[in-house]
Amino acid sequence: MTMPTLLRSRATARPPVPGQTAPAHGPPLPLGTAVLILLAAACAPATVDDQGPPAAVAVTNATIIDGMGGTPITGGVVVAEGGRIVAVGLAAEVAVPDGAAIVDAAGGAVMPGLADMHVHMVGGWDGVSTEMLGYRRYLNALLHAGVTTVFDAGNVLPFIQQIQAEIEAGRLPGPRVYMAGPLIDGPVPIWPPITYFTFEASAIWRHATQLAAAGVDALKGYAGLDAEMVDSLVQAGADVGLPVIVDLGSRGDYAAAVEAGVLARAHAPSGPLGDDEIAAMVEHGTASITTLAVLESFARRRLDDLAFLEHPLIAATTPPWFLDALREHATRSLSDQEKERAAAIEELLMTAMTNVKRLSDAGVLVVAGTDAPYPGVFQGEGIHRELELLVEAGLTPLQAITAATRNAARLMDASDEWGAIAPGMAADLLVVRGNPAEDIGATRDIVAVIQRGVVLDRLQLVFSAQDDPGFRTVGSVAAN
Ligand SMILES: [Zn+2]
């Protein structure tokens, strides 16, 4: 059974968002470069006052990275109109419409907006506490970093439903959201507030039916499910038209889950992985979401040098008190047990990297995701880190980018809608300095983010302590 075809393409029913620009909530920042000034002028027509369809926008003087792994085109132009890409090619071949807003890439690159296909948009910074009232911060952080699509892999159902619906309606700036809603776990859930728990197989069909009615995009099976229950979940999902993505923990029976027909593993395998298991994934079309960034977080590897917190994608979008808490977390002295645990997880990270390379080489659909937020894994910046880790794992930069563009869209059966630069596709674009096809770190050096044909005003997406209510995190979604 090839599960992806069962999945509805949410995005196709979605109208372009007119004049998508975040309401002003911060003091004007000094404009750092001439490029930004040009952009401010370029995006002037696209404001919340202008409710018409997005004007034409053209990215010029760019190396085009199509998101499908194609050979980059230097000296390229991408034209979008009405929220969709209408022309792609060499400057000599593509006519730029009169009156189009021009984003001059100045020899940099244009690529599809990035997708992070494993996030939990519940606020907080540590992966456990929540800060739902601060949703604007992380939606802004995602857009600011050029993330135009996310898959929320577990959340409080009505909360994520509303986030998705308001973004879809164009009333809330944010990336395109796919969602699992709550995890479906066994009788003793690991994350009670974001879980539907299951005492018996009959409950699984009821959960699947309810979640389908609620409009989720996939079911997320969790670690307390045994092989039989995973099988029931896949069957119930098929009945209601939903694929199943699983995180069965380190002791889960993934071979049975692959056999049952799950769409994807929510994390890259971080333990022993036989060639026969990889072959089974290829045979059944099972994808793997990567989430190397979260393993790096638990290994505390990234926390050895906190200089990365100065990166604008983090510093400009994160409440300072989150950064203070993270610094405290990173610098406190660890018990021997904690040190051993971190070292053990670093081994898992290395194994997961090896496995991602093997999966990619074998033809498994490898999809970038981060599991943000966790300590050191940020909404938005996290996917740029994931791309770097995928390259460290041995993928080429183009393969890594494709994992966060075309492959992400394929996971959601939406590759005819977004995730590539080609005529007809949604005009979600990331313009950067440098060439990420040669240096993956260049994806961070952002010139412009274009969402459905509108150049976003990224200065409006930065965090402003002056205007932020200062909400703090509460509670824990993890069971004690
Ligand atoms: Zn997760």
- pLDDT tens digit string along 218-241? 999 999 999 999 999 999 999 999
Would residue 380 be called left, alpha or beta, if left means φ above 0 and alpha means ψ between -120 and 50 degrees?
left
Residue 477, domain member (yes or no) = no
Give residue 357's identity as a one-letter amino acid code: K
Indicate if the pLDDT at residue 42 is higher than 70: no
Task: Give the domain-ending residue among 411, 431, 448.
Answer: 411
CA of 421 to the centre of ligand 1 (A): 29
Q: What pLDDT sits at residue 479?
A: 82
CA of 458 to the centre of ligand 1 (A): 27
Is residue 125 domain-shared with residue 106, that is, in the same domain? Answer: no
What CATH number is attached to the domain comprising 42? Answer: 2.30.40.10
Collapsing DSSP to helix, strand or coil, 96 comes out as coil
Task: Give the domain-ending residue among 411, 436, 468.
Answer: 411
The domain total for the chain is 2
Indicate if the pLDDT at residue 14 is higher than 80: no
DSSP secondary structure string for all residues of 330-344: HHSPPPHHHHHHHHH
Is residue 293 domain-shared with residue 350, that is, in the same domain? Answer: yes
CA of 72 to the centre of ligand 1 (A): 33
Is residue 286 domain-shared with residue 197, that is, in the same domain? Answer: yes
CA of 374 to the centre of ligand 1 (A): 10
Q: 427: domain range?
A: 13-112+421-460
CA of 63 to the centre of ligand 1 (A): 34
Is residue 74 domain-shared with residue 200, that is, in the same domain? Answer: no
Indicate if the pLDDT at residue 406 is higher than 60: yes
Indicate if the pLDDT at residue 433 is higher than 50: yes
CA of 347 to the centre of ligand 1 (A): 20
Residue 68, domain member (yes or no) = yes
Q: What pLDDT sits at residue 470?
A: 94
Is residue 132 domain-shared with residue 102, that is, in the same domain? Answer: no
Residue 117, domain member (yes or no) = yes
Nearest CA to 160 out of 182, 142, 175 is that of 182
Collapsing DSSP to helix, strand or coil, 137 comes out as helix
Indicate if the pLDDT at residue 281 is higher than 50: yes
CA of 267 to the centre of ligand 1 (A): 8
Residue 277, domain member (yes or no) = yes
Q: For the chain, what is the radius of gyration of the CA atoms?
A: 21
CA of 151 to the centre of ligand 1 (A): 10
CA of 148 to the centre of ligand 1 (A): 19
CA of 468 to the centre of ligand 1 (A): 27
CA of 371 to the centre of ligand 1 (A): 5
Q: What pLDDT sits at residue 52?
A: 56
Give the residue carrying structure tokens 């098929």. Answer: 238
Is residue 447 domain-shared with residue 359, that is, in the same domain? Answer: no
Q: What pLDDT sits at residue 54?
A: 58
CA of 153 to the centre of ligand 1 (A): 6
CA of 41 to the centre of ligand 1 (A): 39
CA of 294 to the centre of ligand 1 (A): 9
What CATH number is attached to the domain comprising 193? Answer: 3.20.20.140
Is residue 108 domain-shared with residue 188, that is, in the same domain? Answer: no
- pLDDT tens digit string along 306-317? 999 999 999 999
Average model confidence (pLDDT) across the chain = 90
Q: Which residues contact 424 (CB under 8 A, 6 or more apart)?
A: 84, 85, 416
List the structure tokens of 110.
């244009």
> Which range has the worst mean pLDDT, 115-124, 240-249, 334-343, 470-479?
470-479
Peptide bond into 373 cis (omega under 30): yes
Indicate if the pLDDT at residue 437 is higher than 90: yes
Give 246's strand partners: 221, 265
Is residue 216 domain-shared with residue 330, that is, in the same domain? Answer: yes
Is residue 389 domain-shared with residue 454, that is, in the same domain? Answer: no
Task: Give the domain-ending residue among 411, 435, 450.
Answer: 411
CA of 194 to the centre of ligand 1 (A): 11
Residue 219, domain member (yes or no) = yes
CA of 120 to the centre of ligand 1 (A): 6
**DSSP type of residue 372:** B
**DSSP type of residue 30:** P
Residue 92, domain member (yes or no) = yes
Tell me the average pLDDT across 321-331: 96
Q: What pLDDT sits at residue 328?
A: 97
Is residue 209 domain-shared with residue 307, that is, in the same domain? Answer: yes
Q: What pLDDT sits at residue 53?
A: 53
Query: CB within 5 A of ion ligand 1: which residues?
Result: 153, 371
Residue 480, domain member (yes or no) = no
Tell me the average pLDDT across 212-218: 98
Tell me the average pLDDT across 244-269: 97
Is residue 48 domain-shared with residue 142, that is, in the same domain? Answer: no
Give residue 442's identity as a one-letter amino acid code: A
> Which range has the worst mean pLDDT, 21-25, 255-259, 378-382, 397-401?
21-25
Indicate if the pLDDT at residue 410 is higher than 80: yes
Q: What pLDDT sits at residue 472?
A: 93
Indicate if the pLDDT at residue 32 is higher than 50: no
CA of 318 to the centre of ligand 1 (A): 20
Helix (H) or strand (E) holding 209: helix 201-213
What is the value of pTM for the model shown? 0.90
CA of 268 to the centre of ligand 1 (A): 12
Is residue 273 domain-shared with residue 366, that is, in the same domain? Answer: yes
CA distance to 39, 41, 106, 446, 460, per residue, from 35 (Å): 6, 10, 9, 11, 16
Residue 474, domain member (yes or no) = no
